[in-house]
């Protein structure tokens, strides 16, 4: 009786891509985040970029108390990114939590798991974006309740910006923020932009705002910075990656 074997013989050597051909970044997102990954893939133009995501346990509503409670969970969430993989940077994708907890504190907790890796937040990215655009007088649009809007505005004031106007939308659930129609974002952004402002910052990684940044700029005649757009711009420019261009706002045409 003839015996058969399931073994197959390789006819060519296996080939592997060099790790140096990739630029890997980590996204550290709230468990309720419905938007940030889609935004990054939408804005990605460089095939060298590899995006790795981990999630942080979180429950709505978006209040300073709930946001602050996530602080000790940052280290564990960061440790769940691919081990022994050289990450060029990690993006913590929550604007209001960064404002409530503190940019430096967020970085320190992530560094417990990932020492030495550059940490990008929506707020430190926005400051770099404002510097690139040479804008100091800003308006702010944020979807949160007043108690969560205030720390964001205070952050910019502490960084030397002159906040001309702040418009909060009073939403408590970041899933509702993610479902806000782009046309509504455009309409409220135009309302939020003060005539004295040099730029508008749209706070919140849940809002689908990068895709309408150029539309708002066309209506207001001034640059628009959004949380995920600023972070993507910062990550792309610091790593020499291709930018997606004017479709996502003036910022995405600047080399940094």
Burial of 49 (0-12, 13-18, 19+ CB in 10 A): buried
Q: Worst-scoring range by mean pLDDT, 13-22, 51-60, 218-227?
A: 13-22
Where do the structural domains in the chain lie, given as residue ranges? 22-122, 123-226+245-253
* 103 contact partners, CB below 8 Å, separation of at least 6: 121, 123, 124, 155
Note the pLDDT of residue 13.
Answer: 85
In the predicted model, what is the mean pLDDT of the chain?
Answer: 95
Burial of 63 (0-12, 13-18, 19+ CB in 10 A): middle
Indicate if 123-226+245-253 has the same CATH topology as 22-122: yes
Note the pLDDT of residue 10.
Answer: 63
194-253: pLDDT as tens digits: 999 999 999 999 999 999 999 999 999 999 999 999 999 999 999 999 999 999 999 999
171-200: pLDDT as tens digits: 999 999 999 999 999 999 999 999 999 999
Q: Is 30 in contact with 58 (CB distance < 8 Å)? A: yes
The two structure tokens encoding residue 33: 């985040």
- For the domain made up of 22-122, the CATH class stated in words is alpha beta
Note the pLDDT of residue 9.
Answer: 65
Give the CATH number of domain 123-226+245-253: 3.40.50.12500
- Say which residue the tokens 């919140």 belong to: 204
Is pLDDT of 3 > 70?
A: no
Please state, in angstroms and rounded to a whole number, the distance separating the CA atoms of residues 256 and 243. Answer: 11
């Amino acid at each position: 009786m003839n015996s058969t074997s399931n073994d197959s013989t390789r006819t060519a050597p296996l080939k592997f891509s060099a790790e140096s051909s990739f630029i890997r970044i980590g996204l550290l997102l709230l468990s309720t985040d419905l938007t940030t990954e889609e935004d990054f893939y939408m804005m990605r133009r460089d095939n060298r970029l590899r995006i790795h995501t981990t999630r942080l346990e979180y429950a709505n509503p978006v209040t300073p108390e709930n946001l602050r409670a996530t602080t000790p969970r940052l280290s564990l969430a960061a440790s769940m990114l691919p081990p022994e993989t050289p990450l060029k940077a990690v993006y913590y994708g929550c604007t209001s939590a960064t404002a409530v907890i503190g940019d430096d504190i967020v970085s320190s907790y992530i560094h417990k798991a990932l020492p030495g890796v550059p940490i990008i937040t929506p707020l430190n990215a926005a400051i770099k974006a404002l510097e690139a655009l040479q804008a100091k007088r800003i308006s702010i649009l944020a979807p949160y309740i007043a108690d969560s809007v205030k720390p964001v505005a205070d952050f910019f004031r502490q960084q030397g910006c002159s906040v001309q106007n702040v418009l909060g939308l009073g939403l408590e659930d970041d899933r509702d923020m993610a479902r806000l129609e782009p046309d509504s974002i455009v309409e409220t952004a135009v309302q939020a932009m003060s005539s004295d402002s040099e730029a508008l910052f749209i706070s919140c990684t849940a809002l689908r705002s990068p895709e309408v940044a150029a539309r708002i700029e066309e209506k207001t005649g001034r640059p628009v910075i959004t949380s995920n757009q600023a972070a993507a711009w910062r990550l792309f420019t610091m790593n020499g990656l291709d930018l997606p261009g004017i479709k996502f706002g003036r910022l995405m045409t600047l080399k940094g």
